[in-house]
Structure 1
């Protein structure tokens, strides 16, 4: 008998989709991708889609445009058969392009809002979207869920010495506060300055007494090139802290970022499986299941 629920596993999120389908007792549909010489993808679904409700799971990480087109294609196919299609986008690419920072910049999240609606999604679920402003450009239902409780559970199992939660910048202050509250510790936020044109990062915070002889958890929503984390770690190490751990939801870790972060003095990077990789230790499927 065909399940009332189908989980369609996009190639970028096979692990999350598989775990999610078990948790919500849904029929798992796998996808096969054939990439042609010119870069085009041909997608084939293996399984029967539910007529009632489908859940498409596909993260939009690099190659971003390829994974985005595949997500839209899967939603479109699901909508041909299912009366309702929920798009689970664990990592929402383009979320940093949520407003016009410099004159003439295109707000790509506004474009995505139209594309997801046009493809047939009735609701979008994302995990720790970079900015909630991005979702204001969507006319369909949206839900953002937090990976913080799951990440904190991992850190509670470690024997940390008088831990302190640190945000690498003021923008992540609320995230650090929430993380510290769940962990039962204190938190601080560093001050950084980023050049909008060159992307270079500077730490503006002066000396800190409260980090000495303590294990630190640097908390961020995403790590792309790791510039902010490297600068923050170098600064914190000078303040005589003990171990430095990094906790993030989305570990993109582009251009040798992991190597550079470890070289700066980070003991371990812990991320979720929104983006599969060596650091993706924490499973987010339970949080997504609750949201569905």
Structure 2
């Protein structure tokens, strides 16, 4: 795509380069300087062409900083073109898509307005937390899924009588799709989360069909790992074999990874929507197809 330029933000530089190669497009990087007061100054390391521009930047922690940097990149890109596709592989604030408790701000709606105001004319996200959240956007937005790519990665592993598990009933459809691509069955645990303090507990009764089997816990994102820890502890009591975790977005806040491994997780596999050592699956291909 000779008339397309990919701009890579500080949070997604490697993924942006991979996407540019997939699209055979031009690539412009960016640099970030953070001042002592916390303000960031972004500079483009080249001049985009006047055709279509794709700005790639995830808004993982620090979420607010990466969001502002993304808005700034989109605004700068709009000086060169009016065809700006914002690719935000991990979209922060996607969980704040409705008013759960009285008085809560639906922040995702605010973010949607900001992205449009900055100059984005289209958007692509990867495995958004809730499809409902997409209704807040007043520009075309497309959600692409990494589930098939994750399943393909796990198919290369030699697991014993694998079973796909969703840590909660809300993720049952995701587990079903993953299991379909993998070629095995799935189950969904039932959990309760206290909306005020965030504490999770598993309310599923005993399971017989996990005994001696390798399990793949599938989720869209892992933040503190609380749900995965509770699910793993429960499944280990049911005499399962090994527990693997597959997720699109591995935030892994604080010591989340250590807690999950202590609970009995053998391996965590995530995508490069968030660059970290668990990111074994590249989403550049599915984003390129969507574009």
- Fold-level match, TM-score > 0.5? yes
**SS of residue paired to 1:290:** helix
The whole-number CA distance in structure 2 between the counterparts of 1:36 and 1:162 is 53
Gaps of 5+ in 1: none
**SS of residue paired to 2:29:** strand
1:4 is aligned to: 3
The whole-number CA distance in structure 2 between the counterparts of 1:193 and 1:126 is 28
The whole-number CA distance in structure 1 between the counterparts of 2:125 and 2:155 is 25
How far is 1:48 from its partner? 1.4
1:263 is aligned to: 262
How big is the alpha-carbon RMSD for the aligned residues of Structure 1 and Structure 2?
0.8
CA contact (8 A) 1:221 1:248 kept: yes
2:245 is aligned to: 246
Query: 5 Å matches for 1:28-67?
Result: 28-67=27-66
How far is 1:113 from its partner? 1.1
TM-score (ref. length: structure 1): 0.99
2:283 is aligned to: 284
2:115 is aligned to: 116
CA contact (8 A) 2:82 2:119 kept: no
| 4+ residue runs over 3 A deviation | none
How far is 1:83 from its partner? 2.6
The whole-number CA distance in structure 2 between the counterparts of 1:56 and 1:285 is 13
2:166 is aligned to: 167
How far is 1:65 from its partner? 0.4
**SS of residue paired to 1:126:** strand
CA contact (8 A) 1:212 1:242 kept: yes
1:228 is aligned to: 227
CA-to-partner distance for each residue in 1:115-164, whole Å, 9 max, x for gaps? 01100101110000001111101110000000011101110100111100
CA contact (8 A) 2:123 2:141 kept: yes
CA-to-partner distance for each residue in 1:4-37, whole Å, 9 max, x for gaps? 1110000000111010000001111010111001
Gaps of 5+ in 2: none
The whole-number CA distance in structure 2 between the counterparts of 1:186 and 1:50 is 48
CA contact (8 A) 1:3 1:50 kept: no
